[in-house]
């Protein structure tokens, strides 16, 4: 006799991933949990760095041209004192 899928035995991490609660007798490998947390933090930092520094050469050139244009406009608008 086979049990329906909802009653089939499953590992604690599968239940957690599904959103179910675990009982006290479920074992948790603290070393694995610590490493998973550290990996998640490193991934978040890597994603932030990809968005911060991951720009194409065309985007960098466009930004440099915009910066040069702004500097030129500022210099053109500068008043010179004849005194």
Asked if 16 contacts 28 with a C-beta cutoff of 8 angstroms, the reply is: no
Asked if 15 contacts 22 with a C-beta cutoff of 8 angstroms, the reply is: yes
**Positive or negative CA dihedral for 40, 17, 19, 15?**
negative
Delimit the domains of the chain by residue range: 27-54
Residue 14: its pLDDT value, please? 75
Residue 61: its pLDDT value, please? 94
Q: Which residues contact 67 (CB under 8 A, 6 or more apart)?
A: none
The tens digit of pLDDT for each residue in 55-79 reads: 888 998 999 999 999 999 998 888 8
The tens digit of pLDDT for each residue in 14-38 reads: 777 777 765 656 677 889 989 999 9
């Amino acid at each position: 006799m086979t049990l329906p899928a909802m009653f089939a035995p499953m590992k604690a991490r599968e239940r957690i991933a599904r959103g179910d609660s675990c009982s006290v007798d479920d074992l948790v490998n603290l070393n694995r949990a610590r490493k998973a947390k550290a990996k998640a933090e490193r991934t978040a930092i890597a994603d932030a760095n990809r968005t911060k520094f991951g720009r194409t050469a065309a985007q960098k050139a466009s930004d440099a041209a915009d910066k040069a244009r702004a500097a030129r406009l500022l210099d053109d608008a500068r008043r010179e004192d004849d005194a």
